[in-house]
A and B are shown apart, each in its own frame.
Chain A
Amino acid sequence: MRWVTLLLALVLAAGTFFVPVLDAPGVETDVGVSPPPIAVCPVEEGSGRNTNLSVLSTVDGPVGLTLFTAGESAGSLASATGASGSLVIPVVDVAAVGTVGGLVEMPNAISAAGSVVQGAASMSAEACASVPEAQAFITGGSTAGEATFELHLMNPYAGEAVVELIVESEAGTESNSRFEAVIVPPRSSTFVDFNDLTPGRESLSVSIETIKGRVNAIGRLGIHGDTGVWRALPGAIDWFIPVPKGSASKELIIATPANTEIDYQVDLFTPSGAEEAFATGRLTERGQHVIDLGEVTEEAIGVRVVSTGPVVPVLRWSSPDIGVAITTGVVVEANRWFLPGASTLEGGWATIIMLNAGIEDSTVSIRPLRENTSVRSFEVSSESVLAIGIEEADGYLVESTNPVVVLWTAQRAGSTSAAIGVPILDG
Chain B
Amino acid sequence: MTDAPAPLTAETQSVEAPNDAPRVKVLLTLVEGSDFDAAVATVSRQVYDPVPDLVIVGKAESVPDGAEVAVTLEEAIAAADQSTDYLWILHSDARPRPDALSALVEEVERADAALGGSKLLVAGSHDVLESIGSATDVFGEPYTGLDEDEIDLQQYDVVREVSFVSSASMLVRRDLAQGLGGLDEKVPPVAAGLDFSQRARLAGGRVISVPSSEVYHQGRCGGKSRKWREQAGRLRAMVTAYSPLTLLWVLPYDFLVALVDSLVSLLFLRWRPGARHLMSWGWNTLNIPSTFGRRRRFKKVRVLGDEELFRFQARGSVRLRVIGSELSNRMLSIFDEDQALAKRSRRIWGSPGIWGAVLAVFILGFSMRSIIFSGLPNVAGSFPFEAGSVALERWFAGWNESGLGSPDAVHPSVGLTGLASILWFGAEGAARTVLTLAFGLLAVVGMGRFAGRLGLRGPGRYLAGLVVIAGPGTAVLAGSGSWTSLAAASVLPWAVRAAFVHESEKDRSHLSRFGWVILIGLTLASLSPVLILVPVVVVLAWKVWGGQGSRLVLALSGLLGTAVALQFFYSDVGWLLEADRRIGLSVDDLWPVLLVVGFLPLVLLEGTARRIGSLGVLLGLAGLLLVRIPGMGPGIEEASLILASFGAAMVVAAGLDRLTGRPKHLMSIVAAGAILFFSIGSLADGRLGLPSGDLSERLGFSVSLAHEHGPGRTLLASTQRSDVPGEARSGPGYWYRVVDGTGMTHDEVWLPSPRDGDEALDEALRLISTGSELRPGEVLAPFAIDWVVLFGPEFRLDEVLVAQFDLVPTPLDPDSRVFENPQAVALADAGADSAWQRSASGFSGDLGSGRVALALNHSDGWSPQPGPVGWQASVSAAEGVASFRGDSYSVAMAWVAVAVALLGLILVIVGRARR
A30 touches B599 (CB 8 A): no
B621 touches A16 (CB 8 A): yes
Q: Which of B618, B628, B732, B805 contacts A8 (CB 8 A)?
A: B618
Q: Which residue of A lies closest to B772 (CB)?
A: A34
Q: Does A32 contact B (CB under 8 A)?
A: yes
Q: Which of B580, B581, B585, B802 contacts A159 (CB 8 A)?
A: B802
Q: How far is the CB of A340 from chain B (nearest CB, A)?
A: 20
Q: Which of A9, A13, A158 contacts B806 (CB 8 A)?
A: A158
Q: Does A28 contact B (CB under 8 A)?
A: yes
A159 to B735, CA, bound (A): 24
Q: Does B721 contact A (CB under 8 A)?
A: yes
Q: How far is the CB of A125 from chain B (nearest CB, A)?
A: 25
B628 touches A22 (CB 8 A): yes
Q: Which residues of A contact B581 (CB under 8 A)?
A: 25
Q: Which of B631-659 contact A (CB under 8 A)?
A: none
Q: Which residues of A contact B805 (CB under 8 A)?
A: 103, 156-158, 187
Q: Assess A26 versus B766: contact at CB under 8 Å? Given A2-B614, A12-B625.
A: no
Q: Which residues of A contact B730 (CB under 8 A)?
A: 25-28
State which of B22-30, B586-594, B668-676 sits at the interface with chain A. B586-594
Q: How far is the CB of B320 from chain A (nearest CB, A)?
A: 53
A31 touches B596 (CB 8 A): no
Q: Size band of the B side of the interface? A: 35 or more
A103 to B595, CA, bound (A): 67
Q: Which of A12, A23, A30, A103 contacts B621 (CB 8 A)?
A: A12
Q: How far is the CB of B601 from chain A (nearest CB, A)?
A: 11
Centre residue among B622, B731, B809 by max chain A CB count within 10 A: B809
Q: Does A359 contact B (CB under 8 A)?
A: no
Q: Which residues of B contact A21 (CB under 8 A)?
A: 586, 628
Q: Does A171 contact B (CB under 8 A)?
A: no
Q: Does B733 contact A (CB under 8 A)?
A: yes
Q: Which residues of B contact A103 (CB under 8 A)?
A: 805
A308 to B774, CA, bound (A): 37
Q: Which of A1-57 contact B (CB under 8 A)?
A: 1-3, 5-6, 8-10, 12-13, 15-17, 19-38
A13 touches B595 (CB 8 A): yes
Q: Which residue of A lies closest to B621 (CB)?
A: A12
B617 touches A31 (CB 8 A): no
Q: Assess A214 versus B618: contact at CB under 8 Å? Given A19-B625, A21-B628, A30-B733.
A: no
Q: Which residue of B lies closest to A13 (CB)?
A: B592
A31 touches B769 (CB 8 A): yes
A5 touches B803 (CB 8 A): no
Q: Size band of the A side of the interface? A: 35 or more
Q: Mark B558-591, 1 if CB is under 8 A from A, else 0.
A: 0000000000000000000001111011100100
A6 to B610, CA, bound (A): 11
A13 touches B772 (CB 8 A): no
Q: How far is the CB of B823 from chain A (nearest CB, A)?
A: 11
Q: Which of A131-166 contact B (CB under 8 A)?
A: 131-132, 156-160
Q: Does B807 contact A (CB under 8 A)?
A: yes
A157 to B803, CA, bound (A): 6
Q: Which residues of A contact B803 (CB under 8 A)?
A: 36, 131-132, 157, 214
Q: Does A186 contact B (CB under 8 A)?
A: yes
Q: How far is the CB of A63 from chain B (nearest CB, A)?
A: 14
Q: Which residues of B contact A38 (CB under 8 A)?
A: 774
A10 to B796, CA, bound (A): 47
Q: Which residues of B contact A119 (CB under 8 A)?
A: none
B733 touches A27 (CB 8 A): yes
Q: Which residues of B contact A27 (CB under 8 A)?
A: 719, 730-735
A16 touches B625 (CB 8 A): yes
A6 to B596, CA, bound (A): 8
Q: Assess A24 versus B582: contact at CB under 8 Å? Given A9-B599, A36-B771, A131-B803.
A: yes
Q: Which residues of B contact A37 (CB under 8 A)?
A: 772
Secondary structure call for the A interface:
loop
B582 touches A2 (CB 8 A): no
A21 to B596, CA, bound (A): 19
A31 to B617, CA, bound (A): 47
Q: Which residue of A lies closest to B627 (CB)?
A: A22
B603 touches A6 (CB 8 A): yes
A9 to B777, CA, bound (A): 57
Q: Which residues of A contact B628 (CB under 8 A)?
A: 16, 19-22
Q: Which residue of B lies closest to A5 (CB)?
A: B614
A10 to B770, CA, bound (A): 52
Q: How far is the CB of B455 from chain A (nearest CB, A)?
A: 17
A19 to B589, CA, bound (A): 11
A28 to B777, CA, bound (A): 23
Q: Which residues of B contact A225 (CB under 8 A)?
A: none
Q: Which residue of B lies closest to A10 (CB)?
A: B596
Q: Does B292 contact A (CB under 8 A)?
A: no
Q: How far is the CB of A181 from chain B (nearest CB, A)?
A: 15
Q: How far is the CB of A2 from chain B (nearest CB, A)?
A: 5
A272 to B36, CA, bound (A): 147
A31 to B804, CA, bound (A): 18
Q: How far is the CB of B580 from chain A (nearest CB, A)?
A: 5
A33 touches B770 (CB 8 A): yes
A33 to B772, CA, bound (A): 8
Q: Which residues of A contact B622 (CB under 8 A)?
A: 12
Q: Which residues of A contact B808 (CB under 8 A)?
A: 158-159, 186
Q: Does B629 contact A (CB under 8 A)?
A: yes
Q: Which of B584, B618, B630, B771 contacts A24 (CB 8 A)?
A: B584
A157 to B585, CA, bound (A): 41
Centre residue among B592, B617, B802 by max chain A CB count within 10 A: B802
Q: Which residues of A contact B804 (CB under 8 A)?
A: 157-158
Q: How far is the CB of B794 from chain A (nearest CB, A)?
A: 12
Q: Does A75 contact B (CB under 8 A)?
A: no
A27 to B596, CA, bound (A): 36
A36 touches B773 (CB 8 A): yes
Centre residue among B546, B579, B585, B614 by max chain A CB count within 10 A: B614
Q: Which of B614, B733, B771, B807 contacts A28 (CB 8 A)?
A: B733
Q: Which residue of B lies closest to A19 (CB)?
A: B628
B589 touches A9 (CB 8 A): no
A9 touches B732 (CB 8 A): no
Q: Does B624 contact A (CB under 8 A)?
A: yes
B545 touches A13 (CB 8 A): no
Q: How far is the CB of B793 from chain A (nearest CB, A)?
A: 13
A2 touches B770 (CB 8 A): no
B770 touches A9 (CB 8 A): no
A159 to B774, CA, bound (A): 13
Q: How far is the CB of A31 from chain B (nearest CB, A)?
A: 4
Q: Which residues of A contact B610 (CB under 8 A)?
A: 2
Q: Which of A16, A36, A157 contacts B589 (CB 8 A)?
A: A16
Q: Which residue of A lies closest to B800 (CB)?
A: A33
Since A13-B593, A28-B730, A187-B805 are in contact, a sample of 19 more A-B pairs with Cβ atoms closer than 8 Å, ordered by chain A residue number, is A2-B603, A5-B617, A10-B596, A12-B622, A15-B621, A16-B592, A17-B589, A19-B628, A22-B579, A25-B579, A25-B580, A27-B734, A27-B735, A31-B796, A33-B771, A38-B774, A158-B809, A159-B808, A214-B803
Please name 14 pairs of A and B residues whose Cβ atoms are closer than 8 Å in the assembled complex, sorted by A. Answer: A1-B545, A1-B614, A12-B592, A12-B625, A13-B621, A16-B589, A16-B628, A22-B579, A25-B584, A25-B721, A35-B771, A157-B803, A158-B807, A187-B805
Q: 3 nearest interchain CB pairs?
A: A24-B584, A30-B733, A12-B621
